[in-house]
Amino acid sequence: MSVDFNTDCYDPVYSVLGVPATLTVAATVVELTVLDKTRRKTVASGGAEVSSVGPGVKVRMLELAAKGITVGQWDGALLTFNGRSWIVRKGDVLGSPNGEDLGQVWLLLKEAAVG
């Protein structure tokens, strides 16, 4: 028996924990539901470390495709959610047991204010 990860796993999680987001790709603006994955992050060098956050979200590939966003189009896009705006610096396709097109993408972000 196969498991439909979008129906059985992602949809319940996104319906509870997902937040509305706006992704602006060039002149195209789409509404999405994202999981806010911004977490504490430290970077180290020379024996010293700096604490900050690593901003990021997860988005379902199925939803992106339904809104006309293809792989890589997110690079440099403006993403607004939870009251802040960010620039997508890259997206890691996470895949799923049903294949990467039915999985999620982890969008890694940087502060929009600093360009």
Partner 1 sequence: MVDVREDILARLLVVVAAIPSIRSSYRNNIETAENQLPAVIVLDGDEETNEANNRPSNSPILVQMTPGIILQVSDANTAGSVVNTFRGDMIKRVLFDTELNSLIAKSSPRGNGAIHYLGCQTDVGWMRTGYAALTAQFMFKYTLRPEQL
User: Rule CB under 8 A: is residue 83 a binding residue for partner 1?
Assistant: no
| Rounded CA separation 25/3 (Å) | 32
Residue whose CB is less far from partner 1, 67 or 90: 90
**Binding residues with partner 1: total (CB under 8 A):** 20
CA angle 76, 87, 92 (to 5 degrees): 70
DSSP H helical segments within the chain, as ranges?
5, 11-17, 61-66
Cα dihedral: 94, 36, 27, 60 (round 10): 40
Q: Given the rule CB under 8 A, which of 25-33, 38-46, 58-66, 91-99 is the region that contacts partner 1?
A: 38-46
User: Rule CB under 8 A: is residue 39 a binding residue for partner 1?
Assistant: no
Candidate list 13, 17, 29, 53; residue touching partner 1; CB under 8 A: 53
| Rounded CA separation 29/110 (Å) | 19
User: Rule CB under 8 A: is residue 29 a binding residue for partner 1?
Assistant: no
User: Rule CB under 8 A: is residue 55 a binding residue for partner 1?
Assistant: yes
In the complex, the residues that contact partner 1 under the rule CB under 8 A are 41, 43-55, 89, 108, 110-111, 114-115
